[in-house]
Structure formats: C-alpha cells, structure tokens
C-alpha cells in the first residue's frame, strides 16, 4: 500500500467514525430540549427520566467524539501538509469558530449533567438549548470548510503565495447554506430514527408505558419533520451541484453521455468500459427535469471531461442511490407511524409490524448520512480542493504513513468496543425509566 492509498484510507475510516459522534452531538441535544421542555410544561415524570437517560448517552458520546475529533486534526496536519497550507491560510479561522462553539458546548454539557436540581428548572433547560445550538453551529462551521473545498473562493494565488481577499466569502455562497441545511437535517434524522428504533424494540419486548411511548413519539416527531424537509434540501443542493460541479453530478446519476431529455436512473450499475449505466429503472426526461425544471434540457455527461478527471463513478453512484433510498424509506415509515398514531393513539405501540419496521430503520439515517458524505467527497475527486489541488499532490512525502494508518485504525477499533460496552451497560438499566401506564 503506497502512502497516498494509506492516507486516503485513514481519512475514510477516521471521518466515518467521527461522523457518527458528530451527528449524535448535533441531534441528541435537540431531543433533550424537547423532552425536558415537555417536562417543564406538563410536569410528567417520564419526560424528566428520558432527559436524564439521554444526557448520560450524550456525555459519553461527546467524550468519544472529542477524542476522534482531536485525532482528525492531527491527521490533517500530518498527512496533508500541502492542503493545510492553503486551507489554513484561507479558511483556517472557520475551524477556530468551530473550536469556540465546541468549547461552549463542552462547558454547558458539564452544567447540564451535574446541575440537575442545583439550578432552576428553566435555567437547566436553557443550558440544554445552548448545547443544542452550539452543537449545530459546530457542524455548520465545519461544513463551511468543506463547502470551500468544493467551491474555493475568497483568495488569490500567485507563485504559490496565497492572498486572502475575503475571509468570509464561502459564507456568502449558496453552497454553504445548502450543505449546512442538508447535513444538519441528516444528523437530526439519524439520531431520531436510532432513538425510535430503541424504543420500538422495548415496545416489542412488552414495554407499553408512558416512558417508552414518550421516547418514541419525541423521536418520531423530530424524525418525521426532518424526513419531509430532507428531500427539499437535497433538491436545492443537487441543483447547485449540477451548476457548479457537473462532473460530480454526472457521476452521481451515472450519466456518461451528454444528452437532452436525460433519464432519471433508479438503481443500476455504471460500466466505464461500455460507458452506460446498466440495470437501472429509467424515467425519461426525469434527470433533465430535476436538474433544470425542463424535461428537455441538456445534461452534461462524463464525456465532457477527460477520464483523468473522473471520480470513482461506481462508488459515487452507489452511495448516491443508497442515500436517496434510505431517506425515502424513512419518509414512508414516518407517514406510516403518524397515520397509525392518529388512528390508535397510545395503542400505536401494539402495532408489531410498525415496531419491526422502525427497528429495521434504526441504522438507516446513519447509513444515509455516511453515504451522503461519500457522495460529497468521492464526487469531488481527483481534487482535494476543486480545480486547484489534486489529492495526490496534497499527501505528505514523509515515510511511515502506513504505520500511522494501522495505529489510528486500532484506536478507533478500541473506542468502538468501549462505546458498545458502555452503551450496553446503560441500556441494561432502561427499566429504571419505567413509570406507570
């Protein structure tokens, strides 16, 4: 394995690992605010029990996310010095803002965990609001850096000297807003369906009390809203990618040939040798319509781009299909749940097929989140900074990358085992939350 391959694999594993904890850090605090707010409003004890249980999970996963985030910062500096030289000069201050939000989040998590019954209920709830806000802002700032990698703006470069012309240029671009909206919703969606899956599991095991019902309904309220907003945010983002990154768009859709009345493909497998996407269900004119609003419009294909500038088309198309498929499934299950809720109310937990469906959906949000990230990053290749620096030119020339890859992979493996063990221990105490029906 050469240094470039080892460095890319290390970033893949590191980001895939860290993304789960980042999503929990964004999504779970909002659920905490919801259930504690319901406790303040109704005085019903199960909401407070839920908030206390979830705050323990939040504290645990925040600590692991802090470790993996620190490791990521180290990896970026060691593995990609040429990239960091430019990125740090132009948008490094955005990482500084992310760090500021992170520290605020950490401070208020401490208050939230240890100040139950020591400050007023309203002040405690407001500390949760700060956690939810700063967690969301951390993600939005990081997406500012990622958006800049897709659309580098705000600087000039002459004789390898970078001159910053506008330090907040990326925040003025629609891409940053579209990415921030889409990714934040994905984090809420992932966490909500993971929580809903757990309480559906408890319902299938015979728990039909207020504690389980309240946890499931809170999760499905957040998940249902996000499931219906997500296609809108995805549509806006896809249209912008079509305008600014047509190669990525063509890879996402398996569009090899430039053509008018381009079909929308559902599924299928791109074949680079024959330059066609096989086995797909095609909707004539669908892709032209989604991209432009006109079913007869021309869609540029990969034939407009030299092959040396193609991303990995198979993986980009597959990841895009998985992302769309998982999001669609979550939307349909949300509809099913809320129809059942309005028909059966508290007895919704008795619908065993619905509970089974929610259990199946438990990982789908995270699968969609990871797939979406793969589309974003794979679709930009071979560039680490779009049109400016190729990934192969950014990797460190120093030897020993392979050893670092092994060491960090072992670290993430160890952290995974520890988290599973600790979450399992927390789960075993779930009966503590049981209250009267």
Task: Please give the full DSSP string across 333-353, using - where no structure is assigned.
Answer: HHHHHHHHHHHHGGGGGG-HH
d(CA 131, CA 24): 12
Q: Where are the alpha helices (DSSP H) in 43-120?
A: 45-79, 81-114
In angstroms, what is the C-alpha Rg of the chain? 23
302 phi and psi, to 5 degrees?
A: -70, -15
- In the prediction, which pLDDT does 159 show? 81
What is residue 430's predicted lDDT score, i.e. its pLDDT?
Answer: 54
Q: What is the pLDDT of residue 423?
A: 87
pLDDT, tens digit (0-9, with 9 covering 90-100), for 323-373: 999 999 999 999 999 999 999 888 889 899 999 999 999 999 999 999 999
Extended strands (E) in 291-344: 298-299
Contact 336, 295 (CB under 8 A): no
Low-confidence ranges of the chain (pLDDT < 50): 432, 435-437
DSSP-derived secondary structure for 192-228: HHHHHHHHHHHHHTT--SHHHHHHHHHHHHHHHHHHH
Predicted confidence at residue 436, as pLDDT, reads 42
What pLDDT, in 10s, does the model give residues 192-203? 999 999 999 999
Cβ-in-10-Å burial (0-12, 13-18, 19+) of 317 comes to buried
Range 200-203, long-range pairs (CB < 8 A, 24+ positions):
200/354, 200/355, 200/356, 200/358, 200/359, 201/355, 201/359, 202/430, 203/349, 203/355
Other Cβ atoms less than 10 A from the Cβ of 396: the count is 19
- What pTM was estimated for this model as a whole? 0.94
Query: What is the structure's pLDDT at 158?
Result: 85
Longest CA–CA separation in the chain, Å: 72
CB atoms within 10 A of CB 152: 21
**CA 27, 33, 35: angle at the middle one, nearest 5?**
105
Task: Round to whole Å and give the CA distance between 402 and 399.
Answer: 8
- What per-residue confidence (pLDDT) applies to 70? 87
Contact yes or no for 249/289 (Cβ under 8 A): no
Residues in the chain: 437
Contact indicator for 124, 112 with CB cutoff of 8 Å: yes
Going by the DSSP 8-state scheme, the letter that residue 262 receives in this structure is P
Residue 271 CA to residue 233 CA, distance in Å, equals 30
């Amino acid at each position: 394995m050469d240094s470039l391959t080892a460095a890319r694999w290390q970033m893949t594993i590191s980001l895939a690992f860290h993304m789960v904890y980042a999503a929990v850090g964004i999504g779970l605090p909002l659920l905490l605010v919801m259930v504690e707010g319901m406790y303040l409003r109704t005085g019903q004890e199960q909401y407070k029990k839920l908030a206390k249980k979830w705050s323990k999970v939040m504290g645990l996963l925040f600590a692991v996310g802090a470790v993996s985030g620190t490791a990521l910062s180290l990896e970026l500096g060691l593995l990609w010095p040429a990239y960091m030289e430019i990125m740090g000069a132009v948008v490094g201050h955005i990482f500084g803002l992310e760090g500021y939000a992170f520290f605020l989040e950490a401070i208020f998590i401490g208050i939230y965990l240890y100040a139950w019954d020591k400050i007023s209920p309203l002040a405690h709830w407001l500390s949760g609001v700060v956690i939810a806000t700063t967690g969301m802002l951390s993600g939005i700032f990081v997406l500012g850096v990622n958006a800049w990698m897709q659309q580098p703006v705000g600087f000039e470069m002459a004789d390898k000297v970078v001159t910053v012309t506008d330090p907040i240029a990326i925040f003025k671009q629609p891409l940053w807003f579209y990415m921030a909206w889409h990714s934040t919703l994905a984090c809420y969606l992932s966490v909500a369906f993971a929580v809903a899956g757990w309480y559906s599991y408890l319902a299938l095991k015979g728990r039909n009390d207020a504690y389980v019902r309240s946890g499931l309904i809170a999760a499905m309220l957040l998940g249902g809203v996000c499931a219906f907003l997500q296609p809108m945010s995805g549509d806006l983002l896809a249209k912008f990618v079509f305008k600014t990154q047509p190669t990525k768009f063509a890879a996402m859709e398996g569009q090899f040939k430039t053509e008018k009345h381009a079909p929308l493909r559902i599924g299928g497998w791109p074949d680079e040798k024959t330059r066609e996407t096989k086995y797909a269900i095609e909707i004539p004119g669908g892709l032209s319509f989604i991209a432009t609003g006109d079913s007869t419009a021309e869609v540029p294909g990969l034939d407009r781009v030299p092959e040396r500038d193609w991303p990995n088309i198979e993986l980009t198309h597959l990841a895009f299909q998985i992302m769309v498929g998982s999001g669609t499934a979550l939307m349909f299950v949300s509809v099913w749940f809320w129809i059942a809720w309005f028909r059966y109310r508290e007895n919704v937990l008795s619908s065993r097929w619905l509970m089974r469906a929610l259990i199946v959906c438990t990982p789908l949000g995270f699968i969609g989140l990871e797939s979406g990230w793969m589309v974003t990053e794979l679709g930009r290749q071979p560039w680490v900074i779009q049109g400016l620096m190729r990934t192969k030119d950014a990797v460190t020339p120093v030897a020993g990358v392979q050893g670092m890859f092994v060491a960090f992979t072992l670290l993430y493996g160890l952290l995974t085992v520890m988290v599973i063990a600790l979450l399992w221990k927390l789960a075993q105490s779930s009966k503590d939350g049981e209250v009267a029906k």
